Structure 1
């Protein structure tokens, strides 16, 4: 017995460690994305998020002034300027890409034709020549700079201030709420019928629902859009509500049916003996006991529809007044999506509402579990 108990204890520790590993696997990248959302483009390009609290070093080049910027000082022609931007400090500098850190701040480099270049520690440079400069582009000065850690809210301000985001926010709500409620209502009735009502073909319907779970929705997008156009729905809210309902129903029916099958048969049989109709049993017994499953699917469906871009693009359109939030954020990122700082800020702005919904539904989910687990005396 002691050996068995010891084995069970070790298994419990293994489960706990596995759960901790999964939590860290999701939490660490999310935290990194949050940190990146408060950094600017240069910091993200030059160092990882884990170095956000440390000074970052970057190598780049700036162009010195051109012939138009020169001034004569005695026998020399001089071009002066500064290679640093605000908040940077100079670590090293150079005059070619093969050795960009050849000189320390304050050193002077001897160039061709008697020219000389010096860069001070504060970034001010002085390019001198015994003859008049003719270069119209300006020579390249390679600099290695160190910048202190910097956090900014400009990324969030840029995303929140994006044109059309407010309308897109309302559009997303208009799409998401009905597309979450409608499949739950239909799936609850269907799941009860498949779980507790006897009728011919029930097994075939259950098999059909399971089969629909493995059909990729991408295969149905164009045929379904053509069908909408043929019956006059076109692109609009009704079309996208029905599309999300159709794509969400197989999983909803499958989950709810499996949950309802596990409910105590004695309660339902007693209600039937007392003369309750099927609808009364469904409304007064099945729905209250199935609230945890209903809340779970509501969370999943809300998250899926809120974050959807593909279905919204196909069934709603691409006009500015029709775009959902994911569409506006896609337009903000541009065709190449290289603005990583905007991408990080957009991610957290877009998940704000789903997080609120999740924690709100989690409270009701726990309440439903407790209510379903207590038996009356």
Structure 2
């Protein structure tokens, strides 16, 4: 009985010690060292301890301005660290060049380590548990006038759909869905004529960076006055892919093809088919005024003619003709080369003008499902 009593008491003491030891280990880490203490800000304004999430060139513009703001007279940012994706992405390269601390994704941080997060063109959905570690939440710089063009490719869809006005929106991110959080700041941007997606991206990246700094200057007030987004006017901007680049000559107008070229061509060339083969259309010159030698002959969409005076291939679409100075068929060919090597030989066969061999043929595969998704509302 005595032995049993002593052993029982010892087990109770050991169990109590073990629980205390394990709690200490959980608090301090496996090496027994106390973690760095972090405290909440004593004030509700800048300078901010900021963690930046980004990847591409669009994001670098905001990161540049945040980096510079650490040493400006207003001191918007006290400390700046970066979360980025693997590989030599532009944000990572900028952070390395400017000696900014870099975290891999997902970051291992503790509550109170940072005041606010900023996400610019990052592409990963941030979990609610991470958002809660930032007392002032996480902001997002989005290149559209939300709720229009929510999604990963707003700049491309802005140009693709012929918008004349766009802008930049600063929102507080939502934990479960992209681009639906409350609006803290917003600024309009008029789109110049013939603007490409690349040109618009550069302009909005710069405008977004300055709008972000403006938001951080009065963040506490803006959080109080934030505006919840409405679904009225919401449009989704899915990622671009090659299915968008196929021209449907029967359905697309000259203006629509022009928008398509300005939206995609720096990344994906426009496509059609010629005698069953894919042909890429290069060096778009816009709408053409064509005079056919046979005035009685009515061209059909996809009809191709060579304009010797201007050295272009003119193609008939829904409401007129559009021109290209070069194509890619096995190799790059000028309009003259394509005419001499392919088109002229076909025309010499004296087939009816509407036969498939003298047409660029539309390929509609995948366009219906893409259009359905594009028109969806988030």
- TM-score tier by shorter-chain length is under 0.3
Answer 1 or 2: which has greater strand percent: 2
So what's the TM-score if we normalise by structure 1? Answer: 0.20
Q: Which has the larger radius of gyration?
A: 1
So what's the TM-score if we normalise by structure 2? Answer: 0.20
Answer 1 or 2: which has greater helix percent: 1
